[in-house]
Amino acid sequence: MCCADAAGVRSASLGLLLLASGCGGMADDLFPSGADRTPPVVAGSIGPAAGQLAPDFTLPDVAGGTVSLHAALASADGAVLYFTMWCPICDAHMSDMRARAIPAYPGVRFFAVDYVSGSAAAARAAQVASGWDVPGFTVLADTDAAVERFYSAPMKVVVVGRDGVIRLNGEYTLPRLQAALEGLP
């Protein structure tokens, strides 16, 4: 390395050091922790996190009706919302739920929430084209992806108890889903 290059590296390093030291106590923001990213959950508040209350929503289903979350919960132990875009990963997750979770939790309603198709008719076409014209999931069309955006849930699973409290909002694994379903009141 020539002298000019070494001087440039030293100048850049010095500049970064000065920038970081002049941030007045914000240097820890260079290394954020989980506490920096996730605000605490306030019990009884409405929000997308586990422990918060799920807001009600009504979405069209692919059979021509509509489904309200709170109405579905009135006659069930809980609800599982799986946000699908009918990809191979979604297919694997939904197949696993259909084979192992749906039979084990008959009092829970399982919903596949299509947030990409844009209409109930297009969601129905995607359902059929993907081979999901089978019992197990009620397919809902999140036509403007508002419910998916609220939960920040592409290809995620959300579990809501009969009491409206969210028990899980995260990546799908069968053990995590089972733990959330076992904890339903």
31, 83: one domain: no
Task: Please state whether the predicted TM-score (pTM) of the whole model is above 0.85.
Answer: no
Copy the structure tokens of residue 122: 């297009």
Instruction: Kindly report the three-state secondary structure assignment for every residue of 59-119.
Output: EEECCCCEEEHHHHHHCCCEEEEEEECCCHHHHHHHHHHHHHHCCCCCCEEEEEEECCCCC
Tokens 């990409």, located at residue: 116
80 and 171 fall within a common domain: yes
Is 85 domain-assigned? yes
Return the structure tokens found at 162.
Answer: 């009969």
- Domain assignment present for residue 125? The answer is yes
pLDDT by residue (tens digit) across 1-54? 555 555 554 554 544 444 444 444 444 455 555 555 556 788 789 999 999 999
Q: Which pLDDT score, from 0 to 100, does residue 40 have? A: 78
Number of domains, the chain: 2
Query: Which residue range forms the structural domain that includes residue 10?
Result: 3-37
Structure tokens at 127: 């359902």
| Local structure of 120: helix, strand or coil | helix
Q: Are 16 and 100 part of one and the same domain?
A: no
Residue 8 and residue 93 share a domain: no
